[in-house]
Structure 1
Amino acid sequence: MNSKILMGCLFAASMLTTSCSLDEDPKGQMAQETFFTCQADLDASIHAIYEKLNQTQSWTNPMYPQWQGDDMTANPGSNKQAVAALDGFSSDGDNKGVTDAWKLHFALIKACNFVIEGAEKTPTSKEEINIALGNAHYWRAYAYFYLVRVFGPLPFITSTDLDVQNCTVASVEEIYDLIVKDLKFAENLPTSYSKAPRNHDGVDAWATKQAAQSTLAAVYMAMAGYPLNKGAEYYGLAAAKAKEVIDANGTYGFYNDADWSHVYSMGRNYNKETVVGIDNNWNNGSWDHDSELTSCCRFEGLGDGGWGDAWGEIAFWKRYPEGPRKDAIYAPKVTFQKGTKIYRTVDWWEIAAEDVWEAVDLKNDPAKDKEAYDKEIADLEKKVAEKPEEYRKVSTGKYEQRTFKKGDQYIAAYHPMFAVYTTNCDPSNSNIELKQPYDYTKPNYTNMTNGRRHRLIRWSEVLLWYAESAARSGAADLTTAKEYLREVRKRAVTDFENVTLSDGTKVAIANMTADQLAEACYIEHGWEVAGQWTQMVTRRADELRMNELKKNFDYRVANPEVVVAKDATGKEYKAKESVSVVKNTWAGDNSIYCPYPTVDVEKNPLLKR
């Protein structure tokens, strides 16, 4: 990062406060008067936007509200109480997921407002000013799109001038009107850039016309559903906007990779399946934030530093269709690792048939002295004597003795494990990441950060958005829409022609009615983005649109056992969710939306529901 850009980033970071209150620091206003004096200033202001953008997703806290979706759940213990509270629809205003989601997205909004207000002062070409303004409007729309689906009504902040800021709480519809206006402005952006950091590694890192159009399709779909319920008209707008991108794809070159394991592969980090992405740690650009997600899906206690932030929800995993996509989204097996060696591989529901209390063989562990080994054996023998019915013992010699506890599960989490963000390591060094599709049989990269590009919108989503919106808008000919659904499924599942709907019926794509096609596309998008809290439209966002979050709440309150597997003898393995719902009465929007952060409510008394 050169010094001019660094100065701009630090300047913008210093002037962007994050709460709408009467005691904001006004020094940013004074600085703007002497900024935007050259093209380098303008570039620095855009780099500051991308700096703030990175921080909205660098780690899991700002994404915690997405755990309300039926694809993900949380560890109820460890240090995961904040995400567990959101998962259980029972958060408060001090929850770090709530506060980080709020402050980091509003910081991005204010960085965008700074550019929107000042860019035209820059003595540079009209083209460069329009590019800067387009990027600022696009990412402001993105930030508000995230916030309005998480918090509902919001402060309407479109200026850095404290005298003209509207700190009242705008309605959901008013916020959406601003989002649409911003995105329509961003449609004037170029379709591609020619040089770094705007374009690198064959992809456009800055916002483009097609990014704005794809995002508008998602926004119109959200407006068509809950809570605005604008219906078929807006689904028609969504279909038309998605089709504009699809029809111009001969120029853009987006594709669905034939191999699903490549979709999130670090070996294809900069791919053309991604329509809109957030770059991380790109060494020739201005942003220097890593993606801190490589350890988030691995469970704690597996030996490779996993955080266990996101667990797979059991019922969703159970009905997830088999095929290459499921094998890429979820780890087909759970592995235990020591150094760079995988020493145990089990199914997540598997009950221990080996050691829980392990007396290490001296022959294989000469570093352990005989006295320590004898004490360990004695302790195990005492446990056997106290509860012999719970243990079995295998002995092949005094110092090769093992005592096992019956019936314990190998995996304390006892949930499916996502693999979306996990990567492998070099066999000789767990801190060296391999740039290849993730392979659960190989050792895992143990550094918590990497340069992963976060895929906000993928090509498969644009196809599904068109197909679902066309079906819900009353389009007369759904032949193309059905073909797009088929295209998404054919690389993902074993039986791509027949789709299981929510009532359990199986319908061939060719025979679907409009309603069946719409439901099939909605379900399919859920499979596509399962466990991916960095998507622009997560599973939780889809369920909000369809007003189905209460179903998740009811499921978590009831918490029925789910039969997850059977062994060769027909014995059933059952599991239940781990997170408890503390507030077990549904409260409508007060259950759906996060509370406003306590500190901001104290500063701004207008923040009331």
Structure 2
Amino acid sequence: MKINLKYTGLILALCMLVNCANDLEEQPRGKVNDPETIYKQYANLEATVMAMYAGIRGDANWSRGFATSSYMTTMFGADDLTTQIGGNKGNFREFDSFNTSANNGAMMNLWRGCYNAILNANEVIEYSYLTIGDEAEIDNLVGQAHFVRAFSYFYLVRSWGRIPLYTSASTVATEIGLSEVDEVYDVMISDLLLAENLLPTTQNLVGLPSEGAAKALLSEVYLTQAGWPLHIESSYALAAQKAKEVIDNKGIYGYDLLSSFDNLWLREYDNSSESIFSLQYDNADGATAFHISGKASMPEAEENGWDDFFVELNFFNEFPEGPRKDATFRTNFLTSDGTTVHYTNSATKHPYYAKFRDGAVDESNPSTATFFNSASYMLFRYAEVLLIYAEAQTRADGSPNAAAYDALNQVRVRAGLSSLAGLSADEFIDAVIDEKGWELAGEGQRWYDLIRTEKVAEVAANRSSEEQVGIIGSTESNNYYAPIPDSEILLNPNLGN
């Protein structure tokens, strides 16, 4: 059964009291009037958790959350994402060309969605002690709040660096400034250590993080903390440890690779064993439909799509041939008059992603595709844990062990590639990073791997001269982070310091 993670009537009532207004910025707009009365009831604590998920999903709001391609705006500097040179894609092009501005409206989707979830998570964490009910059930809700708060801050700190850090429901918005990156990591790590102790090994309803999800996310937080900008290299061993705990207990947590890569992107395999954390969307209620599927990742001229995002040419050309490449990309387009057009003869002359079509596209007539569907959008999956372990163990110990090779090769073999052996530590790490880029192509993770490993300039230098969008700004580390949005500084001048 798929949970939609929303109790609509209760949420709408509670949203009058907590921070889940559609136009929410990072500042709380008012406080709970009487938390002792409201949160005494378990149903109200649970409703705030549901509102937390609704905020990060972006329910009923095109300018907030993960439901649309706009959430990936800050990630367009990576080589697995690009966009068209014309049309209304200026917000994406700014980041694709490394020429960003603080008034970029599309980057606000990630900002607002994450902070909306954080503010609701803070309510749950701060007021759960007032709730009367089963202790294990309350702990589960609090564990979810710690997980989602850490998850949200992880996206924010990797995209913006110094950010406002809300850890209390009683924070006065106009008195808060920007926190340092290491402070944000301290909160995330604390949250996830608490979450793995509070969350059950498995959840009764899909779409909810478990103990294994907390460990998996913590492994990636440690891996990233060990790289740029903090360079806390001792965290590599911690990343390897946490990833190994997930791998060794995959049977308990219900995790494993699907046997076929292309099954990952079919609706019938939503919330499969490979999914560690996924957002749940339900097209039966238009407010919670998923909008990355269908038109957003389809060509306009050939399939009546929106041309929001597609893949850079050299990334595609260097992508290893095999079933994974076939399932990841679409290279032939069927027009409304029945003509098949190869991407080399298309308007943009680029391949597009095939991952995000099932459930929104009738492949016999793609021009009639919708711009939404019911989907489970994977934001963390088991293949990533395997690759985190492979890299972190090698960096921590100085050479890859048998378990690291096994982890990497599980992903490669599933992709139709040969197993690797006999590599130096540097060769092995490069192979893992390449593999992660191919495995997670178009899923919004490549940019974060490039900045933590400081490979942005190297990859940007490999951009094809045939790309529509050229590089204007610096590709060095001084230009990795997105600017704090002007609209947020206007509301809170402290964020401009």
TM-score of the aligned structures, taking structure 1 as reference length: 0.75
Q: Distance in 2 between matches of 1:299 and 1:69?
A: 20
Change (3 A) 1:126 1:17: farther
1:427-446 maps to which residues of 2 (within 5 A)? 443=366, 446=369
Query: Given residue 263 of structure 1, which amino acid in structure 2 is its aligned partner?
Result: L
Q: Counterpart of 1:603? A: 491
Q: Counterpart of 2:344? A: 349
Query: Given residue 308 of structure 1, which amino acid in structure 2 is its aligned partner?
Result: D
Change (3 A) 1:466 1:262: same
Query: Given residue 3 of structure 1, which amino acid in structure 2 is its aligned partner?
Result: G
Q: Distance in 2 between matches of 1:20 and 1:490?
A: 44
How far is 1:58 from its partner?
Answer: 0.8
Q: Counterpart of 1:191? A: 201
**Do residues 496 (structure 1) and 403 (structure 2) align?**
no
How far is 1:292 from its partner?
Answer: 0.7
Q: Counterpart of 2:116? A: 107
How far is 1:446 from its partner?
Answer: 1.1
Structure with higher Rg: it is 1
Query: Where does structure 1 lack aligned partners over 5 or more consecutive residues?
Result: 351-410, 434-439, 498-508, 561-575
Q: Counterpart of 1:588? A: 477
Q: Counterpart of 2:32? A: 29
Encode CA deviations 1:20-60: one digit per residue, 9 max, x unaligned.
56xx632x332535311312112111111111121121111
Encode CA deviations 1:75-130: one digit per residue, 9 max, x unaligned.
12111111011111111111112222222211111111111111111111221221
How far is 1:477 from its partner?
Answer: 6.4
Encode CA deviations 1:153-204: one digit per residue, 9 max, x unaligned.
111111221449861211111111111011111011101123xxxx1xxxx3
2:440 to 529, 534, 543: 529
Q: Distance in 1 between matches of 2:261 and 2:367?
A: 20
Encode CA deviations 1:259-302: one digit per residue, 9 max, x unaligned.
2210111121221111111111187xx99511111211101122
**Do residues 8 (structure 1) and 18 (structure 2) align?**
no
1:542 to 449, 465, 482: 449
Q: Counterpart of 2:62? A: none
Q: Counterpart of 2:424? A: 513
Encode CA deviations 1:431-450: one digit per residue, 9 max, x unaligned.
xx6xxxxxx67747611111
How far is 1:577 from its partner?
Answer: 0.5
- What is the DSSP-based 3-state SS (H/G/I as helix, E as strand, rest coil) of the residue aligned with 1:461? helix
Encode CA deviations 1:493-527: one digit per residue, 9 max, x unaligned.
3x423xxxxxxxxxxx2211222222211110100
Q: Counterpart of 2:278? A: 277
Change (3 A) 1:602 1:163: closer
**Do residues 58 (structure 1) and 103 (structure 2) align?**
no
- What is the DSSP-based 3-state SS (H/G/I as helix, E as strand, rest coil) of the residue aligned with 1:75? coil
Q: Distance in 2 between matches of 1:215 and 1:122?
A: 28
Encode CA deviations 1:309-362: one digit per residue, 9 max, x unaligned.
112101110100000000111013222135xxxx12232113xxxxxxxxxxxx
Asked if the contact 1:50–1:287 (Cα under 8 Å) also holds between the matched residues in 2, the reply is: no
Q: Which of the two has greater strand per residue?
A: 1
Q: Counterpart of 2:4? A: none
Q: Counterpart of 1:320? A: 319
2:98 to 89, 93, 98: 89
Q: Counterpart of 1:329? A: 328
Q: Distance in 2 between matches of 1:134 and 1:489?
A: 34
How far is 1:6 from its partner?
Answer: 4.1
Change (3 A) 1:443 1:602: closer
Q: Distance in 2 between matches of 1:163 and 1:57?
A: 27
- What is the DSSP-based 3-state SS (H/G/I as helix, E as strand, rest coil) of the residue aligned with 2:18? helix
How far is 1:222 from its partner?
Answer: 0.3
Q: Which 4+ runs in 1 deviate beyond 6 A? A: none
Q: Distance in 1 between matches of 2:55 and 2:173?
A: 23
Q: Distance in 2 between matches of 1:279 and 1:46?
A: 14
Q: Which of the two has greater helix per residue?
A: 2
Change (3 A) 1:519 1:207: same
Asked if the contact 1:17–1:107 (Cα under 8 Å) also holds between the matched residues in 2, the reply is: no
1:204-215 maps to which residues of 2 (within 5 A)? 204-215=206-217
TM-score of the aligned structures, taking structure 2 as reference length: 0.91
1:415 to 350, 367, 390: 350
1:289-304 maps to which residues of 2 (within 5 A)? 289-294=288-293, 295-303=295-303
Please give the root-mean-square deviation of Cα atoms over the aligned residues, in Å. Answer: 2.4
Change (3 A) 1:586 1:239: closer
Asked if the contact 1:223–1:229 (Cα under 8 Å) also holds between the matched residues in 2, the reply is: yes
Q: Counterpart of 2:387? A: 464
Q: Distance in 1 between matches of 2:131 and 2:280?
A: 26
Change (3 A) 1:528 1:586: closer
Query: Given residue 140 of structure 1, which amino acid in structure 2 is its aligned partner?
Result: R
Query: Given residue 336 of structure 2, which amino acid in structure 1 is its aligned partner?
Result: Q
Change (3 A) 1:266 1:18: same
Change (3 A) 1:511 1:151: same
Asked if the contact 2:26–2:116 (Cα under 8 Å) also holds between the matched residues in 1, the reply is: no
**Do residues 453 (structure 1) and 395 (structure 2) align?**
no
Q: Counterpart of 2:404? A: 481
1:174 to 164, 168, 183: 183
Question: Sequence identity of aligned pairs in percent?
Answer: 29
